[in-house]
């Protein structure tokens, strides 16, 4: 056996330093590596495979609703970007500009896309002429660049992968319906596949997307009590259509402006999975998104028949994403690696197990050991994976609910923000001044006005005037 220099390195305890714990996990689980380009990360096979599974599942769900995939250019001419004033002002601090082509200065600067609304609008103005051309329900998978000052793997980087949907509709009702439909698709995906419960709601005007009429969001709560905006869906109304002159002739032969939407999710979802489910041994991946669902670890593999039996089991479990760790590392090392990488199930098989026609299934999430007959292995693996997926969502929901508080007075609100990390439910008058005051005095921001409204008080938690909405507040990534 090759000489082992060390077992899997220990990671910082999340209770000691959550930020360092997170960095340790993404590095030591080999999800990313830092590149020589400031703020940009290298997605290693383990990290990219998670994104591939996310992409595959989302893409399937998109297409079931009539979405078609397209691809837009990476570069946006400055004059095109300037067509929508609010939009360009919102992105101006984050735009990366290209000023030269080869050795020659460009006649017009081009930005590297921070998002593609202007490109889609320009395209739609060329291809939409009649009501028969509608709706247009497009999506693209690509990367975007935003010149962030402070970066963190998956959560915030200069370049990141995402999908951005852009649609055009004949009526305001159709656009609003699509906006809500995609938000609910996102929330269902996160709960069904990533085992992360979401709060669904509407952003305040202060927090909405630049150029949008309304922005809807799904918000998740991380293990440390901070919120993470996990997906957004925007109703643009006719704003971009007027700016880009996107008109169509209706059935009465009258010119009308289209109504548009946009919606997106990014690789920050991988960060959410890490921070919701991970523990002090590393990743804990929900089975439905895990690149490897089952790792077979042969025990005493140098003994006759052990590796052959492990290979046989891998063949039998072909319905799952399964591997055999037949390296010459010790079983203890292999167990630690499997835990660090968050593989949902480990199957241990050794000479005694073969003799007794059994194997040991070990759950990554609870570390429970289950002795199963080899005759029924396929069914047992499927059952355990289903239970893990279900219980991971239940635990995440219990954690979120246990860390969701409410406040009716401002002093109570400030104390909650200072001493109880999590969501805080509080009433709001709708005045931006109160929203600004809350952020200035507590550091908490409005996360959303949830679709499921409650009336926990009659008055605004900040100013005491008549309340209009219940808002989820919290500190966020």
Domain ranges for the chain: 18-277, 294-385, 404-474
pLDDT number for residue 10 = 80
Q: Are 25 and 278 in contact (CB under 8 A)?
A: yes
- pLDDT tens track, the chain, 477 positions: 344 444 456 899 999 999 999 999 999 999 999 999 999 999 999 999 999 999 999 999 999 999 999 999 999 999 998 887 777 787 888 999 999 999 999 999 999 999 999 999 999 999 999 999 999 999 999 999 999 989 999 999 999 999 999 999 999 999 999 999 999 999 999 999 999 999 999 999 999 998 899 999 999 999 999 999 999 999 999 999 999 999 999 999 999 999 999 999 999 999 999 999 999 999 999 999 999 999 999 999 999 999 999 999 999 999 999 999 999 999 999 999 999 999 999 999 999 999 999 999 999 999 999 999 999 999 999 999 999 999 999 999 999 999 999 999 999 999 999 999 999 999 999 999 999 999 999 999 999 999 999 999 999 999 999 999 999 999 999
What is the CATH architecture of 294-385?
A: 3-Layer(aba) Sandwich (3.40)
Q: Which residue has the tokens 């890490």?
A: 274
169-227 confidence digits (pLDDT tens)? 999 999 999 999 999 999 999 999 999 999 999 999 999 998 899 999 999 999 999 99
Q: List the structure tokens of 425.
A: 């439910």
For residue 117, give the nearest of 215, 260, 218 by alpha carbon: 260
Q: Which fold has domain 18-277?
A: BirA Bifunctional Protein; domain 2 (3.30.930)
Q: Does domain 404-474 have CATH number 3.40.50.720?
A: no
Distance CA 407, CA 438 (A): 13
> Which residues, other chains included, contact 231 with Cβ-Cβ below 8 Å and sequence gap of 6+?
183, 186, 187, 190, 217, 218, 263, 264, 265, 269
Helix, strand or coil for residue 5?
A: coil
Distance CA 54, CA 289 (A): 7
**232-258 as b/e: b if 16+ CB within 10 A:** bbbbbbbbbbebbebbbeeeeeeebbb
Q: How far apart, in Å, do the first and last CA atoms of the chain sit?
A: 45
Instruction: Give the orientation angle of helix 45-64 with respect to helix 172-192, to 10 degrees.
Output: 140
């Amino acid at each position: 056996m090759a000489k082992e220099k060390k077992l899997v390195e220990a990671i910082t305890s999340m209770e000691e330093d959550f930020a360092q714990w997170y960095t340790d996990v993404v590095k030591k689980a080999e999800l990313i590596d830092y590149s020589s380009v400031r703020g940009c990360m290298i997605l290693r096979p383990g990290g990219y495979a998670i994104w591939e599974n996310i992409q595959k599942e989302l893409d399937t769900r998109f297409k079931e609703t009539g979405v078609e995939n397209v691809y837009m250019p990476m570069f946006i001419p400055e004059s095109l970007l300037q067509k929508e004033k609010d939009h360009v002002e919102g992105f101006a601090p984050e735009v990366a500009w290209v000023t030269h082509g080869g050795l020659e200065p460009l006649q017009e600067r081009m930005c590297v896309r921070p998002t593609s609304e202007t490109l889609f609008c320009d395209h739609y103005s060329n291809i939409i002429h009649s009501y028969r051309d509608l709706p247009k329900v497009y999506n693209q998978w690509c990367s975007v660049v935003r010149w962030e000052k402070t970066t963190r793997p998956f959560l915030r980087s200069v370049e990141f992968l995402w999908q951005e949907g852009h649609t055009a509709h004949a009526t305001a009702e159709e656009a609003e319906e699509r906006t809500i439909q995609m938000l609910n698709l996102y929330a269902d995906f996160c709960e069904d596949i990533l085992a992360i419960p979401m709060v669904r709601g509407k952003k305040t005007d202060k927090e909405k997307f630049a150029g949008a009429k309304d922005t809807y969001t799904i918000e998740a709560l991380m293990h440390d009590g901070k919120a993470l905006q996990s997906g957004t869906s925007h109703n643009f109304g006719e704003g971009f259509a007027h700016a880009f002159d996107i008109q169509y002739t209706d059935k009465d032969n009258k010119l009308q402006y289209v109504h548009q939407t946009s919606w997106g999710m990014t690789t920050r979802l991988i960060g959410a999975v890490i921070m919701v489910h991970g523990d002090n041994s590393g990743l804990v991946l929900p089975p439905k998104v895990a690149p490897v669902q089952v790792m077979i670890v042969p025990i005493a593999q140098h003994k006759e028949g052990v590796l052959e039996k492990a290979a046989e089991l891998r063949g039998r479990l072909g319905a799952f994403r399964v591997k055999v760790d037949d390296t010459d590392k010790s079983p203890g090392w292999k167990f630690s690696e499997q835990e660090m990488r968050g593989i949902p199930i480990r199957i241990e098989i050794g000479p005694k197990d073969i003799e007794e026609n059994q194997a040991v299934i070990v759950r990554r999430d609870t570390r429970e050991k289950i002795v199963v007959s080899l005759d029924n292995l396929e069914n047992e693996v499927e059952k355990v994976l289903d239970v893990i997926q279900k219980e991971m969502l239940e635990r995440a929901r219990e954690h979120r609910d246990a860390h969701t508080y409410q406040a009716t007075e401002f002093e109570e609100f400030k104390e909650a923000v200072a001493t109880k990390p999590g969501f805080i439910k509080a009433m709001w008058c709708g005045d931006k001044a109160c929203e600004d005051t809350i952020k200035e005095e507590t550091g908490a921001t409005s996360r959303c006005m949830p679709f499921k409204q409650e009336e926990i008080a009659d008055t605004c938690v900040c100013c005491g005037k008549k309340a209009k909405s219940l808002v989820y507040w919290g500190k966020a990534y």
